[in-house]
Structure 1
């Protein structure tokens, strides 16, 4: 085991070790880190050594090479997942995979002999590898690791995320750890405060995020969202608020509040002769409430608004075990002229089954695929497949979680025509949203 002290620089707060089975590899990894002014705390030579180190000292990053003769780097996410599940690790370290990138011809087996396809470099049959493993396989494995809570980054020559960026991303994650701690404390204490907020409206805000036609940047819809500012904890993330609301059985009450403010916004837009659909999130449990479709239609009729402007966005946070009831409720809602959107397509095991057995007007590509579309070819293939599927099912498609301008161009090239995300517009307060939409309409007419 090679030990040393960390260098004083912007990354000095990070605790980094390397995983390498031989000294040459260990020095190579240490050399790459030294270019960033970082000296690893140690090199460990096996997964058992990693486990022993983590049982005694916290680690932020583990750097390892992908090599065909050693599978420890590939097995590392499984080890960290198990340690986290067992309670040994409160916060699993990030994993950086690195290695030499090569372009290899595919192998064909002819008469039990290995032969290589005769193709020119750059032909589609040539496959990118890192350390003997195909890049596409590594990307798929990394995505599975991230889905299980283990952060994995693939650092390679020509990659969009280099070691410097990856280290800064870890620093940002550490900076947010205090917030997560406060959130966990809040979740255990605030049930009565959630009830008070929803019944009185104290601290609640309703914001609207525009949806755009990607090519023209014309606003073609919006999503209504709720925000809660707690007097002690500040802004509470939706990922914390929504589970609390659902656990307390307040999901229908919250939906009604968001629906009420959405109708108010629609009425304000109507004065400017603007009618764009606005989506309101609803769990399956909420949608299966008796007479839900009738109540929706009555509210829209009372406001003198066409039902097509209110879009119900089905979330998967509270699955409905009775699929027959959910199917009946969705059909009743659509029969009254409301649109139904399937949120977060691509996550959760239920989405394929839902699309196969129930009718929707729209599906939204989950932001986890959209955010990785530039970095991972596998994400691009998944999105291209979703676009094709949406066409076959005659569904509208919305890409959510667009955070970079370059992603917009790539998504449009893949066939996505509508999207939302920070690169287009952040969620807006009601007055800001109304001004934004009306000003865009005026500019288009002038």
Structure 2
């Protein structure tokens, strides 16, 4: 919070607009709710004020003559204590939405947009919403761990890398329909090592196959255990670009299924668009072999690349996973909601099931269920858990589901 608020002084608002009449209108609203305001008719004046005065709120017109409000957003992002930003503009709504997304991406976590002409009630609401302390949401920047091939070999051979399972839920019913097996590394010397570091190293050093087969064994063990009382349960495992071009990988996966005594229908292989486009011919060869065996193929992170539709049309996918970058804020951003809704419609046209990643609240769960999205993953259900933790969580979830039913289905039944 800015000092003006912590000292019980009326919040200070900076009004940045090259239209003085508009500035007076906003200033009048500020006065009526007991705020102080300062008017800046240009970028230069606003920049000087921002650098010297702590503000609780800043209203910004995107068009500021020779300069624009985007430059000001970037300047605000550099502040240690950031005000609530209210973007006000006569630009089309999609530009306003994009400006807010840009603000969020630069670290201005508390930003909203209002179109011109301003609705005074909406402006009042935006000004009376307490600014959040963005500094508490910023994660401390840590130097990435320096890991070597020897570290990775030790981790693979000593079981430091293990499978953690994130539940996959049928959104309409709340049923646990499967999980995604995610590789995790807790090093005795390095601490937790992110998959973005060790997966890339495994691909460079040739350790990725053994690592993936290890995760597959763990996943199939879980599938075999749960499959005894739920034959529809499916585990998903990610396949890297390196392995997708390995002509023997489909036979290796088939062998692991036989050894585990798990039917092929209980396994889903997830690949990203980038992975599929590495070598289309080899990728198609491997994916077709897997599908012929009865193994499911899921397109992960749909919509995040440049060739999503091309890959979708060419490859034999049976599931489409909508990336969390679209799902997490889809209720607050109409453009993101359109992407999510379109993705569900596209999957339906291809006779594929859809899974939304990154569901973090019940409201999003309910909205996606009403839209017709089939499945979901996210913290509203559970983070990824180790084997025993997942089994315990599933038992507790099923017990509660039998008693209360899922929030999403309760809402849908009432509708």
Q: Per the alignment, do residues 264 and 352 of structure 1 end up closer, same or farther by CA in structure 2, a change over 3 Å counting?
A: same
Q: Per the alignment, do residues 172 and 237 of structure 1 end up closer, same or farther by CA in structure 2, a change over 3 Å counting?
A: farther
The aligned residue for residue 266 of structure 2 is 309
Contact 1:341 1:360 in 2 (8 A): yes
Pick one of 282, 293, 297 that aligns with 1:325.
Answer: 282
Residues 63-96 of structure 1, C-alpha deviations (whole Å, 9 max, x = no match) = 442355658445438x95xx9xxxxx99999796
The aligned residue for residue 300 of structure 2 is 343
Q: Per the alignment, do residues 276 and 429 of structure 1 end up closer, same or farther by CA in structure 2, a change over 3 Å counting?
A: same
1:6-25 correspondence runs (5 A)? 6-7=3-4, 9=6, 21=18, 25=23
The aligned residue for residue 76 of structure 1 is 71
Q: Per the alignment, do residues 139 and 434 of structure 1 end up closer, same or farther by CA in structure 2, a change over 3 Å counting?
A: same
Residues 225-252 of structure 1, C-alpha deviations (whole Å, 9 max, x = no match) = 1222344664344444444444544433
How far 1:38 moved relative to its partner? 11
**Does 2:43 match 1:46?**
yes
Normalised to the residue count of structure 2, the TM-score between the two structures is 0.76
Which 10-residue stretch deviates more, 218-227 or 396-405? Answer: 218-227
Residues 270-300 of structure 1, C-alpha deviations (whole Å, 9 max, x = no match) = 3445540111112222222121111101110
1:16-415 correspondence runs (5 A)? 21=18, 25=23, 45-46=42-43, 63-66=58-61, 70=65, 72-76=67-71, 80=74, 97-99=85-87, 130-143=88-101, 153-156=111-114, 167-168=131-132, 170-174=134-138, 176=139, 178=140, 181-182=141-142, 185-188=143-146, 192-202=150-160, 204-231=161-188, 234-316=191-273, 320-415=277-372
Contact 2:97 2:113 in 1 (8 A): no
Q: Any unmatched runs of 5+ in structure 1?
A: 84-88, 100-129
How far 1:342 moved relative to its partner? 0.6
How far apart, in 1, do the equivalents of 2:328 and 2:230 lie?
35
Normalised to the residue count of structure 1, the TM-score between the two structures is 0.71
Secondary structure in 1 aligned to 2:297?
strand
How far 1:417 moved relative to its partner? 2.6
How far apart, in 2, do the equivalents of 1:402 and 1:91 lie?
31
Contact 1:60 1:92 in 2 (8 A): no
Q: Per the alignment, do residues 208 and 36 of structure 1 end up closer, same or farther by CA in structure 2, a change over 3 Å counting?
A: farther
Residues 35-59 of structure 1, C-alpha deviations (whole Å, 9 max, x = no match) = 899999x979427985x999x99x9
How far apart, in 1, do the equivalents of 2:373 and 2:43 lie?
45
Contact 2:167 2:384 in 1 (8 A): yes
How far 1:18 moved relative to its partner? 7.5
Secondary structure in 1 aligned to 2:246?
coil
How far apart, in 2, do the equivalents of 1:288 and 1:37 lie?
63
Q: Per the alignment, do residues 319 and 95 of structure 1 end up closer, same or farther by CA in structure 2, a change over 3 Å counting?
A: farther
Q: Per the alignment, do residues 93 and 151 of structure 1 end up closer, same or farther by CA in structure 2, a change over 3 Å counting?
A: farther
> How many equivalent residue pairs?
392
The aligned residue for residue 410 of structure 2 is none
Q: Any unmatched runs of 5+ in structure 2?
A: 115-120, 404-415
Secondary structure in 1 aligned to 2:337?
helix
Secondary structure in 1 aligned to 2:294?
coil
How far 1:429 moved relative to its partner? 2.3
Pick one of 358, 371, 381 that aligns with 1:424.
Answer: 381
Q: Per the alignment, do residues 168 and 442 of structure 1 end up closer, same or farther by CA in structure 2, a change over 3 Å counting?
A: closer
How far 1:387 moved relative to its partner? 1.4
